[in-house]
Structure 1
Amino acid sequence: MIHMLLRVLGHEYARTMRRAMALMTITATAEGLSYALLVPVLRALLGGSPADAWPWLVAFGAAVAAYAVLRYTSDLSGMRVGTTMLRGMYHRLGEHLARLPIGWYDAGRVGEVSVMAGRGLLAAMSVAAHLLAPFVSAVVTPLTVVAVMLVFDWRMGLAALAGVPVVAAIQWWTVRSTAATDAERHQRDHEASGRVIEYLQAQPVLRAGGRTTERFTLLDDSLRGMQRASRRTVLAALPGVVGLTVVVQALFTVLLVLGAYLVLGGNIGAAEVLTILVLAARCADPLLSLSDIGGKLRGARSELDRLDQVLRTDPLPEPAEPIEPAGHDLELASVTFRHGDRTVFDDVSLSVPQGRRLAVVGPSGAGKSTLLQVLARFYDVDAGAVRMGGVDVRAIDTKVLMERIAIVFQHVYLFDGTIEENVRLGRPGATEAEVRAAATAARLDEVIERLPGGWETNVGEGGSLLSGGERQRVSIARALLKDAPVVLLDEVTSALDPVNEAAVHEGIERLMAGRTVVLVAHRMRTVQRADRVVFLDGGRIVEEGTHDELLRRGGRYAGFWEVSHHEAAPG
């Protein structure tokens, strides 16, 4: 558990965590050692000269005060480490996620990561700030007390020491027996959370279809499954809890019987036995708390384990000696790319000269959007090479590569903030005049003028408060502001109304001017303006040439063109 926590924290925070753990251990040891002063105190009080207890009482009070200072410092250190670590871990997780291949983010994993970013990081902070100190105290303080017992009477000390492996074995057995049920409970919890979200999101469809009863059943089933999994977890942990309680009570009984035997035999004083029994009773509370702390640590461990798996996922490798591309032409050289078991590209080669436009068309599922993602190095190819300016993109520093590429996606995502903040993401250091000029070029100024808040209008999460066309104009303004030499466009007008389509086309024309462009499109209006067209299907380039050349050939592209025009013609 501790090893995993340190690995998750990384080198920057692991050192701080080790210092905090060292302070926790010192504090727990000091607590155990302070109890040793009870022996001379009780010996004096129960002996012939009770006044002799005063110096020992003063020493005991000083030891308790020193322990209180250590405990305050230790707890404060744990809290500070926890909060500092939480902030740092958000940055570390975010930076790591930003370097993972886009293919890693499937539909289920995005939701899992969002939960992990909440529960996982909070679990790590909880361990550092709230659980680690009690756990260290529950382990170290009883061991220190056992050492004190050995010093005062080796027989009583050995009897107490004999219980240590039994307690450790119970804890180990509890962890092993609950591992499977803990995993099942998390799975059921994740499933139930997904069902709740699904039920809420599907309300319009369900009510329109009158199918709410069935959906209630699915949700209820998942909640019942979570309840059964939680019950199994409790039943799996119960023998360990009961076993630990029985062992602690049995150990105290053994010490009581042994102490009485030794006192009656004259081998030890009653004060010493009474003191040792007080120490043993004081050990019972932290030992019994191991069950509760252990359960919380197991829950935190499962979250840390998932966080650890994400952080250990290999990101796209960075070049040891980055190379600056000399130009901005693009090339795919005999590229083969597989996504899972599916071969998306099979020995595909194409080139886009600097400052020219390439249109990519083809049926759905042909890999058109993936082609753009490969060019932007969202994935690394399995064979062949993707080059910019004659340099393999794997040899270019990722930051440099991204600075040279502007991407406008079909489905635009805007961050929850103002319109201006979303546009400025293209180039945060841009002047106000440059931001306004980009907005005008994208015809975003028309949108801003009719919004009550103007530039300060909040777009909502994902841009939900704007229409699809308005979001697309923000995206184009962002790309224009970035002023990158390479532009990748992914079917940006496929779902727009005629008015927004015309405005977006105007913005796109300004964006493409003088740049190297690869565009994926279904609408032929944009394709006609391309310098070259490739028809992609089945992981291969089926046809390639200019728009007019491909029409004259009468092949797949010509059929695609004819169908598109037929659909666009008024009925």
Structure 2
Amino acid sequence: MIRLLLRVLGHEYAKPVRRTVALMTTTAVAEGLSYALLVPVLQELFGSRPADAVPWLIAFGAAVAVYGVLRYASDLSGFRAGITLLRGMYHRLGDHLARLPIGWYNAGRVGQVSVMASRGLLQAMSVIAHLLAPFITASITPLTIVAVMLAFNWQLGLAALIAAPLVAAIQVWTARSMAAADAERAERDHEATGRVIEYLQAQPVLRAGGRTAERFRLLDDSLQDVQRASRRTTLSALPGVIGLALTVQAMFTIVLVLGAYLALNGSVGAAELLTILVLAARCTAPLLSLTDIVGKLRSARSVLTRLDTVLCTEPLPEPREPIQPKRHDLEFKSVTFQHGNRTVMDSVSLSVPEGQMLAVAGPSGAGKSTLLQLLARFYDVNAGAVRIGGVDVRAISTEVLMAQIAIVFQDVYLFDGTIEENVRLGRPEASEAEVRAAATAARLDEVIERLPGGWAASVGEGGALLSGGERQRVSIARALLKNAPIVLLDEVTSALDPINETAVHEGIERLMAGRTVVMVAHRLRTVERADRVVFLDGNGRIAAEGRHDELLRRSGRYADFWDVSSSWSGHTRSARRL
């Protein structure tokens, strides 16, 4: 458990954790040794001169005081270590998640990461603050007391010691029998979390379908699965709880019977027997608490195992000797990329000279957005190379690569904060004048003027308090403020109304000026002024390449696609006018 904890935390936290464990162990031993002083105390109290027990009582009080100081220090060390480790783990997990390939974030991991980053981390880090001290006390203190019993009477001490391997065997057996139930419970928890998120996100669809009054069957089934898994977990733990209680009670009964037999034979005095029984009784309380503590540790261990799995997931490798590109031209050289079992790109080769614009068109699923993601190195290619300025993106450090590129996605996500904070993400150190100029160029100033609070207006989680067009203006202002030499656009106007579309297009024109641009075009009308057009088919290959007017004259797949798209765009514009 400690090794797993240290592996998850990292080597920098090994020393404080080991120091805390050592202090907790010393405290548990001190508690057990303090009970050794009960033997002379009780012997004197039940002897002919009870007053002789006073020095031993003072010694016992001093030992308890030392134990109290140690206990305070160890608990305080555990709390401080837990808080420090929790803060460090949030940073470590966040940094690692930020470096994982985008393909790692599939839909099934939304609930998993959500639980792990909130309740999971708190549960895992509570091992140091809340669980480790009770576990060490429940394990070490009884063994220390048994050692004291052995010192005073080897027969009674040996009888008590027999319980140790039995208790250990019960804990191991319980852990093994509950492993499957714990894994199932964790899986059901993650599924239920995902269903809750799905239920909340699906509210517009459910209400539009008139299903606001009925229960959401998928969510109900998932919650019922959690309930059944919890019941199986409880039933799996029951034999271990009963077995431990019976073992501890049987141990105490054996010591009591053996002690009575030895007392009747005159081998043990009444005071000594009473002391041994008090020590044996003191062993039972921590031993009986082991089941609850070990159950919590086992649950925390499963969280640590999942954390370890995530942290062991290899991020995209950083170059040992990064190269700084001197130019801003782009090149795909025989690029093959697979997503799962599907080949998204198959030996794709193309180039974009510095300062020119490439438009990428094609049907849905042809790999247009993937092309942008490969340029930004959200994924690594399976074969071939993606180059910027003649340098493979894998040879460029992530920091330098991201500084070269400004990306405007079709679906804009804004962080829950003010408009200014979201714009400043493009370049946090920018001056106020530069931020205002970027907002004006993106026509975001029109939005700010009509919002209560202006620049300090909150956008809500994900930008929920702004419209789609307003979010796009924030995104364009952010990209303008970044002032990167390469711009990647994922058809940012495909779902906007005419007013916002006009405003966004003006911002895009300013953003593209003098830069190397790759634009994914879903509508095709945005490709007319591109220097070159690449048409991707559905098989991961380039079906046509050239200027827009040249491709139309060839009367190939691009021309057919253009005709269909133009017809659809015309119907859409007519519908909007109506």
Map Cα deviations across residues 472-502 of structure 1 (whole Å, 9 max, x no partner): 0000000010011111111111111111111
Pairwise CA RMSD: 1.4
One-letter amino acid of the structure 2 residue matched with residue 228 of structure 1: R
Name 1:545's counterpart in structure 2.
Answer: 546
Listed as ranges, the matches of 1:61-100 within 5 Å are 61-100=61-100
Name 1:559's counterpart in structure 2.
Answer: 560
Name 1:459's counterpart in structure 2.
Answer: 459
Tell which deviates more after alignment, 417-426 or 256-265. 256-265
Map Cα deviations across residues 254-281 of structure 1 (whole Å, 9 max, x no partner): 1111112222222232222211211111
C-alpha separation between the residues in 1 aligned to 2:206 and 2:486?
44
Map Cα deviations across residues 502-550 of structure 1 (whole Å, 9 max, x no partner): 1111111111111111110123332112111100111011111111211
C-alpha separation between the residues in 1 aligned to 2:565 and 2:84?
57
Name 1:22's counterpart in structure 2.
Answer: 22
Name 1:172's counterpart in structure 2.
Answer: 172
Q: How far 1:212 moved relative to its partner?
A: 5.2
CA contact (8 A) 1:419 1:455 kept: yes
One-letter amino acid of the structure 2 residue matched with residue 191 of structure 1: E
C-alpha separation between the residues in 1 aligned to 2:383 and 2:217?
48
Name 1:486's counterpart in structure 2.
Answer: 486
C-alpha separation between the residues in 2 aligned to 1:197 and 1:391?
42
C-alpha separation between the residues in 2 aligned to 1:204 and 1:513?
39
C-alpha separation between the residues in 2 aligned to 1:203 and 1:318?
42
C-alpha separation between the residues in 2 aligned to 1:388 and 1:193?
41
Q: How far 1:110 moved relative to its partner?
A: 2.3
CA contact (8 A) 2:111 2:191 kept: no
Name 1:143's counterpart in structure 2.
Answer: 143
Give the 3-state SS of the residue equivalent to 1:107 in structure 2. coil
CA contact (8 A) 1:426 1:482 kept: yes
* Residue 46 (str. 1) matches residue 42 (str. 2): no
Give the 3-state SS of the residue equivalent to 2:333 in structure 1. strand
C-alpha separation between the residues in 2 aligned to 1:128 and 1:460?
36
C-alpha separation between the residues in 2 aligned to 1:220 and 1:387?
50
C-alpha separation between the residues in 2 aligned to 1:10 and 1:149?
41
Give the 3-state SS of the residue equivalent to 1:186 in structure 2. helix
Give the 3-state SS of the residue equivalent to 1:37 in structure 2. helix
One-letter amino acid of the structure 2 residue matched with residue 297 of structure 1: L
Map Cα deviations across residues 367-394 of structure 1 (whole Å, 9 max, x no partner): 1101100111100111111111111111
Listed as ranges, the matches of 1:499-538 within 5 Å are 499-537=499-537, 538=539
C-alpha separation between the residues in 1 aligned to 2:331 and 2:314?
26
Name 1:189's counterpart in structure 2.
Answer: 189
Q: How far 1:214 moved relative to its partner?
A: 6.2
Pair 114,218 (structure 1): closer, same or farther in 2 beyond 3 Å: closer
C-alpha separation between the residues in 2 aligned to 1:389 and 1:139?
63
Map Cα deviations across residues 295-322 of structure 1 (whole Å, 9 max, x no partner): 2112222222211111111111111111
CA contact (8 A) 2:472 2:492 kept: yes
C-alpha separation between the residues in 2 aligned to 1:351 and 1:111?
40
Give the 3-state SS of the residue equivalent to 2:10 in structure 1. helix
Tell which deviates more after alignment, 146-155 or 393-402. 146-155
Name 1:402's counterpart in structure 2.
Answer: 402
Map Cα deviations across residues 100-153 of structure 1 (whole Å, 9 max, x no partner): 000001112123211110011101221111111101110111111111112222
C-alpha separation between the residues in 2 aligned to 1:38 and 1:436?
77
One-letter amino acid of the structure 2 residue matched with residue 338 of structure 1: Q
CA contact (8 A) 1:119 1:303 kept: no
Give the 3-state SS of the residue equivalent to 1:294 in structure 2. helix
One-letter amino acid of the structure 2 residue matched with residue 277 of structure 1: L
C-alpha separation between the residues in 2 aligned to 1:442 and 1:210?
40
Identity %: 78
Q: How far 1:159 moved relative to its partner?
A: 1.4
TM-score (norm 1): 0.97
Listed as ranges, the matches of 1:5-20 within 5 Å are 5-20=5-20
Name 2:437's counterpart in structure 1.
Answer: 437
Name 2:101's counterpart in structure 1.
Answer: 101
Map Cα deviations across residues 345-367 of structure 1 (whole Å, 9 max, x no partner): 11111111111111110000001
Give the 3-state SS of the residue equivalent to 1:112 in structure 2. helix
Listed as ranges, the matches of 1:84-483 within 5 Å are 84-211=84-211, 215-483=215-483
CA contact (8 A) 2:115 2:193 kept: no
C-alpha separation between the residues in 2 aligned to 1:523 and 1:304?
47
One-letter amino acid of the structure 1 residue matched with residue 322 of structure 2: P
C-alpha separation between the residues in 2 aligned to 1:208 and 1:405?
40
Pair 200,405 (structure 1): closer, same or farther in 2 beyond 3 Å: closer
Q: How far 1:200 moved relative to its partner?
A: 3.7
CA contact (8 A) 2:102 2:378 kept: yes
Give the 3-state SS of the residue equivalent to 2:108 in structure 1. helix
Q: How far 1:220 moved relative to its partner?
A: 3.2
Q: How far 1:154 moved relative to its partner?
A: 1.7
CA contact (8 A) 2:523 2:565 kept: yes
Q: How far 1:213 moved relative to its partner?
A: 6.8
Gaps of 5+ in 1: none
Name segments (4+ residues, structure 1) moved above 6 Å: none
Pair 255,10 (structure 1): closer, same or farther in 2 beyond 3 Å: same
CA contact (8 A) 1:123 1:304 kept: no
Gaps of 5+ in 2: none
C-alpha separation between the residues in 2 aligned to 1:216 and 1:410?
30
Give the 3-state SS of the residue equivalent to 1:68 in structure 2. helix
C-alpha separation between the residues in 2 aligned to 1:237 and 1:120?
21
Tell which deviates more after alignment, 193-202 or 266-275. 193-202
CA contact (8 A) 1:544 1:550 kept: yes
One-letter amino acid of the structure 2 residue matched with residue 568 of structure 1: S
CA contact (8 A) 1:199 1:215 kept: no
Q: How far 1:336 moved relative to its partner?
A: 0.8
One-letter amino acid of the structure 2 residue matched with residue 161 of structure 1: L
CA contact (8 A) 2:357 2:532 kept: yes
One-letter amino acid of the structure 1 residue matched with residue 335 of structure 2: V
CA contact (8 A) 1:535 1:542 kept: yes
Pair 303,161 (structure 1): closer, same or farther in 2 beyond 3 Å: same
C-alpha separation between the residues in 2 aligned to 1:236 and 1:331?
59
Q: How far 1:90 moved relative to its partner?
A: 0.7
CA contact (8 A) 2:8 2:304 kept: yes
Map Cα deviations across residues 50-84 of structure 1 (whole Å, 9 max, x no partner): 12111111111001001011111111111111111
Pair 207,548 (structure 1): closer, same or farther in 2 beyond 3 Å: closer
C-alpha separation between the residues in 2 aligned to 1:230 and 1:13?
34
